Amino acid sequence: MNETIRLYGFADEASIFIDEQIRTLKRNKLNGLELRNTEFGDATKLSKNQAKEIREKLEDAGLTVWSVGSPVGKTTITDTDEIWLESFKHALEIGEILGAKKFRLFSFYIPKGEDPLPYRDEVIDRLGRITDAARGSSIVLCHENEKRIYGESPERCLDLLTALPGLRAVFDPANFVQCGADALKAWEMLGPFTDYLHVKDSLSDLTIVPAGQGEGHVPEIVRDFVNLGGRDFTLEPHLYPFAGLWALEQQGDRSGISGDRYENAGKAFSEAVEAFRNVLENI
């Protein structure tokens, strides 16, 4: 594997406790984590003191917070309560305390069964206000493609990224597969806008599988990303149920995650890391 490749992980998939997350990262020889949840709750709702404590623990272990894996933008676009903006401002401040370089966000859920296009202007307005609020920060905002949000399809992701120069992409192959899109064609459209990859793979029946074993064209996308100079990857295994899993999707949306193949969450996480290292060694 190329020594310059940097691997991070959603270590809350191994444990909700930050000390065990650190042990998981060290055991799997990762560079750090994309912080999403700990025993203190959602990373974006940490207090300043909690964020400082987590950063100190990570630094003592030789690890970093690569990105804040926030849920910002996972509210319905028709909600008029603007708590999402104030929540973002607090979350960004927490990200700065943690020393994060990136901040993952979404482009709002569209009411089920409705055409997303009539909501385009409102989505762009809201994300524009978020990017305005982040102006002057060293943290880069990265939009993730996800089921049922405006940026579900490659075309609408491209629309957002071209309309909002302050926004970059975190590319998730599995999410495109689960939306019925061809992940490789999506990559051809979005690669130039992508800062890092979420390592997650899926079959078209929504079953999540280790990287390179699904229909997400992970080896081809990783090869192209690395050839373009990309070096940063976050492992998001989704191979075993974990605390907070079902809060990541809208009610009624369920990825195929049973955990039957694995003895426990830690072993599932380690297998995901090993599978991706095999991908890297063969690109």
Q: CB 52: neighbour CB atoms within 10 A?
A: 14
Q: Which residues of the chain have pLDDT under 50?
A: 1, 246
- With beta carbons less than 8 A apart as the criterion, state whether 38 and 69 touch: no
For the chain, how far is it from start to end, CA to CA, in angstroms? 9
pLDDT for the residue numbered 246: 47
pLDDT for the residue numbered 249: 56
Give the closest residue to 18 by CA, choosing from 73, 75, 60, 72. Answer: 60
Which are the contacts of 117, defined by CB distance < 8 A and separation ≥ 6?
Answer: none
pLDDT for the residue numbered 247: 55
pLDDT digits (tens, 9 = 90+) for 231-263: 999 999 999 887 655 455 555 555 566 556 787
pTM as predicted: 0.93
pLDDT for the residue numbered 254: 53
Instruction: Please give the domain boundaries of the chain with CATH numbers for all domains.
Output: 6-281 (3.20.20.150)
- With beta carbons less than 8 A apart as the criterion, state whether 91 and 70 touch: yes
pLDDT for the residue numbered 243: 66
pLDDT for the residue numbered 47: 98
Taking each helix axis as running N to C, give the angle between helix 120-133 and helix 83-98, from 0 to 180 degrees, rounded to the nearest 10.
Answer: 40
pLDDT for the residue numbered 263: 78
Q: CB 64: neighbour CB atoms within 10 A?
A: 19
SS3 category, 60: helix
pLDDT for the residue numbered 240: 84
Residue spans of beta strands (DSSP E) within the chain: 6-9, 32-35, 37-38, 41-42, 64-69, 102-105, 140-144, 167-171, 194-199, 201-202, 208-209, 232-235
Q: CB 202: neighbour CB atoms within 10 A?
A: 25
Tokens of 157: 């992701």
- Distances in Å between the Cα of 106 and the Cα atoms of 190, 196, 223, 281 are 15, 15, 26, 31
- With beta carbons less than 8 A apart as the criterion, state whether 91 and 72 touch: yes
Give the closest residue to 254 by CA, choosing from 116, 110, 111, 147. Answer: 147
